Structure 1
Amino acid sequence: MTQHLPTGVPGAPVPRTVPPSPVQPGTGRDPYRLYRTLREEYPLAYDPLLRAWLLSRYADVAAALTDARFGHGHRPGDPPCATGHQDVDETELREVAERTAYVLARRIAGRPQVDLVAEFCHWLPAGTVAAAVGVPYRDMMRLVRGRAASALAGRCTAQLAVREKALATFLAHALDDPDRAAALRDAPDDDVARAWTEALRRDPPVQIAMRRTSSEVPVGGGVLPAGAPVALLIGSAGRDPERFREPDAFDHRRDDAGQLTYGTGPCPGVLLAALEARYALRALFDAMPKLRPADGFRPEFTGLITRAPRSLLVRPGG
């Protein structure tokens, strides 16, 4: 495969075709078709719109996310979290997430129609953090708007927007199919966790993560130069058929699971996101046993760098 270098670099081969850009107009509707082209034809390409190299295959993206040669970025659950966080009481976090989810679910249970993105997903991440750190909820929202949440709650736990988008995506998939919703309604925690991981894989809330190389790095399709800005296409990696069976399908029982939104190390932010997803599902079904999508509604996913359903209209009473 020819290594596609930016135009104007001395000695760079001239590509026969121009690689598509993940941020070009119109991509937001369905970036996954473009990702497929990049994986198959341009495993290493330079994107003048992003002013960065593109990596789109799972093996390259997964390696880059933990390779010390790719600096200038941090993902919750990566090695720095092991020493960067204070010890947390997992039982307390579980109680906070459960209590907050049930309060929010009961607030909307009596309405004829609800947008779960605006009325539930937007509030749960901030509410759990507020309760966990002992700050009144109204003050936490003010702090979030003032960009002071990370100072109060920690760098990873304060990533409210990412958790909100991840939660909305998870609920969209959980409720999209009646048989799937019925299976998850009373499923054990391990099965719910598997569905959560599957949502992060298939439609990650963070589609593109930016990094910069500190030295030359061999990757699929060529070698990245030192000091190069790199766009890691997490959304593309999650649909790589070299890594996942039937990658475009959502399979809440998938046995080849894997996701790149979060690292695998201990991190209160990662733990809290998973707890929020678990108790969101439990609380919604408990408060609204007949919960289902509104008539004729299909969630519309939007966004290029981050991505999630714009809205999630449901009928609490069935």
Structure 2
Amino acid sequence: MSHEQNREPGRGVGDDRPELSPGDPWTRLPSMAPATPPAGGRAGAGVSAVVPGGLAPLAARVRTAPGGGGPSGGRVVAPSPLDPGASRDPHGIHRTLREEFPLTYDPLLRAWVLSRYADVATALTDSRFTHGHRPGDPPCARAHVDVDVAALRSVTERTAYVLARRIAERPQADLVADFCHWLPAGTVAAAVGVPYRDMMRLVRGRAAGALAGECGGQIAVREKALASFLGNVLSDPDQVAALRDAPAGLVGRAWAESLRRDPPVQIAVRRTAAEVPVSGGVLPAGASVALLVGSAGRDPERFREPDRFDPLRDDPGQLTYGSGFCPAVILAGLEAEYALRALFAAMPRLRLADGFRPVWTGLITWAPRSLIVRPGG
């Protein structure tokens, strides 16, 4: 089976149009029209000095390479996370940004860009950065009512097993379309007492909000995170064997590792409330800042063998969710746990279809478009 199976209806294999996912609360981006960078950024590695009237349009994306040779006179232009081809292979762009342009202004994003783990982690938690929060960040603890975790566990388990049994007898299935797309919404529907057919057709977002406010409405984020998790596990027979009957603790570590390696939200946007020193310079107050969560999760300065999926690593650290209480975060973890348990229980010989390998795609969000499996092995 070829990678052509990963093509989304209406999109060609080489189509790199941005996926902006406006329904995901913390992936809203500024207008993507080219813009002149604002004045106020201080010079640093990969950042030009301020010029009268603001920075020249591409100044903050250019550095002078040693030697000054080559057709560009030694100038190296910073790549953009929105460049053509980035939806298929963002990792080379992320590597260049981390190593050579830790602070740069991106005209396409209309924002300063941070790509190193230390800077992104700071921006997601530091009070000098405003506008938006992740599920599990401190505002969640103040916004959400207590939930019955045992009840959430029960409805998640029941929903996962129903969905798994529905595809167990098929000769072939797509876990993204037939399982991941349905489990997060179905779990929320069961938790709030909404008939599942109505949840999907009429009140999907509102029912989710009734459970966990704005965070609960991020069903699409949980779908993508679950697809990446199953893709990471099923791609490695050793992981399948290790996690088939694993205790919840090990499954939880594998879930967190998948969030690190392949976060469902690749770019988050914040705004500075004050000047903030970061790698490569100082962010000005009032600046829009794009945080490359996907780049941070593969920063070799923070993680050993960052491209490797390793649930047993001793240097874990994911940035998709905060560490505080949030029903949406609890649900996401339960969905991952019971997805594995239900799939392996209903399909003990479950494996990827012959010749199929998951292909992750996306600019703003990131996940496999399909997971073609043979339920009967």
- Counterpart amino acid of residue 148 in structure 1: R
Find the residue that maps to 1:182 and give its secondary structure. Answer: helix
Equivalent residue in structure 1 for 2:83, among 24, 37, 44: 24
Residues 188 and 207 of structure 2 are in contact (CA less than 8 Å); yes or no, is this contact kept in structure 1? no
SS at match of 1:118: helix
Aligned to 1:68, which of 123, 127, 133?
Answer: 127
1:126 maps to a residue whose letter is A
Contact 2:265–2:366 (CA under 8 A) maintained in structure 1: yes
Q: 1:263 aligns with which of 317, 322, 332?
A: 322
What TM-score, normalized by structure 1, do the two folds share? 0.96
Partner of 2:45: 2
Query: Aligned pair in 2 of structure 1 residues 267, 11: CA closer, same or farther (>3 Å)?
Result: closer
1:152 aligns with 2:213: no
8 Å contact from structure 1 (residues 81, 266) kept in 2: yes
CA distance in 1, matches of 2:52, 2:351: 55
Question: Where does residue 183 of structure 2 map in the other structure?
Answer: 124
Matched residue, 2:93: 34
Q: Distance in 2 between matches of 1:8 and 1:315?
A: 60
In structure 2, what is the equivalent of residue 106 of structure 1?
A: 165
Distance in 2 of aligned mates of 1:285 and 1:151: 31
Q: Report the Cα offset of residue 137 of structure 1.
A: 0.7
Deviation, structure 1 residue 301: 0.8
User: How much does 1:151 deviate?
Assistant: 3.9
Q: CA deviation at 1:142?
A: 2.5
Q: Aligned match of 2:363 in 300, 304, 314?
A: 304
Provide the secondary structure at the position in 1 that maps to 2:77: coil
Cα displacement (A) at 1:143: 3.6
SS of residue in 2 equivalent to 1:215: coil
Secondary structure of residue in 2 paired with 1:227 = coil
Q: Which moved more, 1:265-274 or 1:14-23?
A: 14-23
**Alignment partner of 2:242: what SS?**
helix
Change beyond 3 A, Cα 1:50–1:243: same
Query: Aligned AA for 1:121?
Result: C
Q: Which amino acid aligns with 1:187?
A: A
Range that drifts further, 6-15 or 117-126: 6-15
Number of residue pairs aligned between Structure 1 and Structure 2: 317
Q: Tell me how far apart the structure 2 counterparts of residues 310 and 9 of structure 1 sit (CA, whole Å).
A: 46
The share of aligned pairs that are identical, in percent, is 72
Q: Deviations over 1:88-146 (max 9, x none)?
A: 1110011011010000000100000000000000000000000001111111112456x
Q: Which sections of structure 1, spanning at least 5 residues, go unmatched? A: none
**Partner Cα distance (1:269, 1:152) in 2:** 11
Kindly provide the CA deviation profile for residues 26-85 of structure 1, in whole angstroms up to 9, marking residues without a partner as x.
111110111011000000000001110000000000010011221111100000011110
Cα RMSD of the aligned pairs, angstroms, is 1.6
Quick check: which has more Rg, 1 or 2? 2
Instruction: Report the equivalent of 1:192.
Output: 251
Q: Secondary structure at the match of 1:45?
A: strand
- State the partner residue of 2:35: none
- Verify: 1:177 aligned to 2:236, yes or no: yes
Which of the residues 308, 312, 327 maps onto 1:253? 312
SS in 2 for 1:54: strand
The 1:273–1:55 alpha-carbon spacing in structure 2 relative to 1, beyond 3 Å, is same
Partner of 1:81: 140
Amino acid of the structure 1 residue aligned with 2:45? T
Separation (CA, whole Å) in 1 of partners of 2:115 and 2:108 = 16
Quote the Cα distance in structure 1 between the aligned partners of 2:200 and 2:367. Answer: 21
1:180-213 C-alpha deviation (Å, 9 max, x unpaired): 1011101111111010011000010000001111
Tell me if the contact between 1:44 and 1:221 (Cα under 8 Å) persists in the aligned partners: yes
Tell me if structure 1 keeps the 8 A contact 2:174–2:373. Answer: yes
Q: 1:3 to 1:19 in 2, by over 3 A?
A: closer
Larger helix fraction of residues: 1
* Structure 2: tracts of 5 or more residues without a match: 1-43, 65-75
Is contact 1:129-1:158 (8 Å) kept?
no
Equivalent position of 1:134 in the other structure: 193
